[in-house]
């Protein structure tokens, strides 16, 4: 039906040009809020009324007459109704609605996708500190990031998936101290155990393997433990490699792959942090005050200037240590590398606790003098996730010590359920993951409901036993019933749903769409028997349900969720 819509838009543009030169570029057809109002709506008359100094309803009547006389509209539109202050509601012919089936059955997995234009973009997500297992918040990031990558790829972008490892700074020192103390026999609750230390059982596992002189293999490194409890640097490297390996297993359980793992430590070792700071100094965007180096972020809309490098600290024994860079400085250096690697579009997916860093990172990027625009990069911020099991909130994981891990959630339910559930709400809204609901095999479970619609169609096609490829050219005239036409309209919305979800960073819109499509199919299945004796009716209905299965499969793949053929 996309081809039909494009034909109608082109014809609408011609008629709008007759009404007002230049108005054709704004030709648009919208989906009415209520299905009873028609299949598509045109609001052009209300938009043109003021500049033309005309009554919008009279203008709509004039446009209606012109469209009714247009050959394209005469072919595909059964009726155009004038409503309200100037709405034009279009009711399509059954033949127009049936066109979508030929598109779906011809294009198959490419239905809804735009041709690749080669434009590169980078999506950074998960990016967990290598200090512990991935928690359910990271799971929300993983689901969001992967779905957004799939969405943008469907719209023609060349997407690069990147995981930024924060393997430098205070948290790594805390990890090292925690493992070293466990290796020395100290544990949480003992005198001398630091309040900030990591308490999960996984810390003891790392310490035990370090003492056993084991070797760990992460995605980009291998490290063998010395077993020496005084070898702090060895403990640090072993612990980071160990946890990176553990996180790799978490990501594999979630079916997630990255194109690149970028190390924060490399920004220091390569001199990129120092070079970025020098660029800002040379650009006159910094100043010194109270022994600290400041960035003039207020020049770029921040509420106050920010410290880039802390003042030197004198210890009790009289030694002076140089102040370190604040945490947003390596972030600026990192995003400079994204720009220099050619990524003019970049998206970061982070928790809402990162909201305060957005203004200063963007300010730093504008200040380096590379022409980086004010809104670079884009951010998608998400809230944390509550987990409920047996009616009670689950807060503690034996593995992690203080939070539910992603692997816990997958083991309790499934990777499909975790992905679908975590994508079912806007990222910035609170979400409660109901473990008991996620394992139910009934219509109350939304992922089961959608997957069952696909499996149900597969069982019909299997019972038929024919070749689905032969359905492309069957006579579709029998698909003129309200139930069939409603289902076809749902199928026709899919390309626009994908485009809108990518534009708005809203994979939850795909979830909503799939639930609506599944409901439409289940209603159709209850209304009309498919494998009837009449061959032409049977073939038309088989084409309809086969196309529905294809769109369900396509939409689920965008979310990273499987489309089972039997359940």
Non-local CB neighbours of 346 within 8 Å, separated by 6+ positions: 121, 122, 123, 124, 335, 338, 339, 376, 377, 378
Sequence-distant (≥ 6) Cβ neighbours of residue 526 within 8 angstroms: none
pLDDT classification of 410: cutoffs 50, 70, 90: very high
CA geometry: angle 204, 207, 213, nearest 5 deg:
145
SS (H, E, C) 48-115: HHHHHCCCHHHHHHHHHHHHHCCHHHHHHEEEEEEECCCEEEEEECHHHHHHHHHHHHHHHHHCCCCC
pTM, rounded to two decimals: 0.89
Confidence tier at 487 by pLDDT (50, 70, 90):
very high
What the chain holds in terms of domains, given with CATH numbers, is 2-92 (3.30.1360.70), 120-166+336-438 (3.40.50.620), 170-254 (no CATH), 441-559 (1.10.730.10)
Whether 149 contacts 161, CB under 8 Å = yes
Q: Tell me: the pLDDT tens digits for 67-123?
A: 999 999 999 999 999 999 999 999 999 899 999 999 999 999 999 999 998 899 999
Q: Which residue has the higher pLDDT, 5 or 158?
A: 158
Confidence band for 400, pLDDT divided at 50, 70 and 90? low
Q: Are 120 and 160 in contact (CB under 8 A)?
A: yes
Report the C-alpha gap between 394 and 416 in whole angstroms: 20
Helices 2-19 and 56-68, packing angle to 10 deg: 120
Choose between 157 and 221: higher pLDDT. 157
Three-state SS at 477 = coil
Per-residue pLDDT tens for 437-455? 999 999 999 999 999 999 9
Residue 357 has a CB neighbour count (10 Å cut-off) of 18
Percentage of residues in the chain with pLDDT exceeding 70?
A: 97
Torsion angle in degrees (nearest 10) through CA of 106, 112, 118, 124: -140
- Residue 465: left if φ>0, alpha if ψ -120 to 50, beta else—which one? left
Beta bridge partners of 91: 79
* pLDDT given for residue 36 in this prediction: 78
């Amino acid at each position: 039906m996309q081809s039909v819509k494009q034909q109608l838009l082109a014809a609408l543009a011609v008629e709008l040009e007759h009404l007002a030169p230049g108005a054709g570029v704004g030709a648009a057809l919208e989906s009415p809020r209520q299905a009873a109002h028609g299949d598509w709506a045109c609001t052009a008359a209300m938009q043109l009324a003021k500049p033309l100094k005309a009554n919008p309803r009279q203008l709509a009547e004039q446009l209606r007459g012109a469209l009714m006389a247009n050959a394209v509209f005469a072919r595909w539109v059964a009726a155009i109704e004038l409503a309200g202050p100037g709405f034009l509601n279009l009711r399509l012919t059954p033949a127009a609605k049936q066109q979508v089936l030929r598109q779906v059955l011809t294009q198959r997995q490419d239905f809804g996708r735009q041709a690749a234009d080669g434009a590169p973009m980078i999506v950074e997500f998960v990016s967990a500190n290598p200090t512990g297992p991935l928690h359910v918040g990271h799971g929300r990031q993983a689901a969001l990031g992967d779905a957004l990558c799939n969405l943008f790829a469907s719209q023609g972008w060349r997407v690069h998936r990147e995981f930024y490892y924060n393997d430098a700074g205070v948290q790594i020192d805390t990890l090292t101290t925690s493992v070293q103390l466990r290796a020395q026999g100290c544990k949480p609750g003992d005198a001398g155990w630091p309040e900030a230390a990591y308490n999960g059982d996984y810390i003891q596992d790392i310490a035990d393997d370090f003492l056993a002189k084991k070797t760990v293999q992460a995605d980009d490194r291998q490290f063998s433990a010395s077993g020496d409890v005084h070898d702090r640097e060895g403990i640090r490297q072993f612990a980071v490699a160990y946890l990176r390996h553990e996180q790799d297993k978490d990501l594999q359980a979630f079916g997630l792959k990255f194109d690149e793992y970028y190390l924060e430590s490399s920004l220091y070792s390569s001199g990129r942090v120092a070079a970025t700071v020098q660029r800002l100094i040379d650009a006159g965007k910094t100043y010194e005050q109270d022994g600290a180096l400041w960035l003039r972020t207020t020049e770029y809309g921040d509420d106050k200037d920010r410290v880039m490098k802390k003042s030197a600290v004198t210890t009790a024994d009289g030694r002076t240590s140089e102040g370190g860079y604040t945490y947003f400085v390596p972030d600026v250096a990192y995003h400079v590398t994204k720009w220099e690697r050619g990524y003019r579009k970049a998206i970061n997916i982070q928790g809402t606790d990162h909201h305060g860093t957005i203004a200063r990172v963007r300010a730093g990027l504008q200040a380096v003098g590379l022409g980086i625009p004010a809104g670079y990069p884009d951010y998608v911020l998400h809230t944390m996730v509550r987990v409920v099991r047996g009616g009670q909130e689950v807060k503690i994981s034996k593995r992690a010590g203080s939070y539910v891990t992603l692997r816990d959630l997958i083991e309790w339910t499934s990777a499909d359920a975790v992905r679908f559930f975590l994508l079912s709400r806007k990222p910035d809204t609170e979400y409660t993951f109901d473990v008991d609901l996620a394992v139910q095999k009934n219509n109350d479970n939304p992922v089961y409901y959608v997957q069952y619609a696909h499996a149900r169609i597969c069982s019909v096609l299997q019972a038929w036993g024919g070749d689905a490829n032969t359905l492309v050219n069957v006579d579709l005239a029998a698909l003129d019933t309200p139930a069939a036409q409603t289902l076809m309209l749902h199928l026709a919305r899919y390309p626009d749903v994908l485009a809108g979800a990518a534009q708005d960073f809203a994979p939850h819109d795909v979830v909503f769409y799939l639930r609506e499509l599944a409901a439409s199919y289940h209603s159709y299945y209850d209304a009309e028997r498919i494998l009837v004796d009449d061959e032409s009716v049977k073939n038309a209905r088989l084409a309809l349900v086969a196309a529905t299965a294809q769109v369900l499969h396509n939409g689920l793949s965008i979310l990273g969720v499987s489309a089972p053929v039997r359940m």
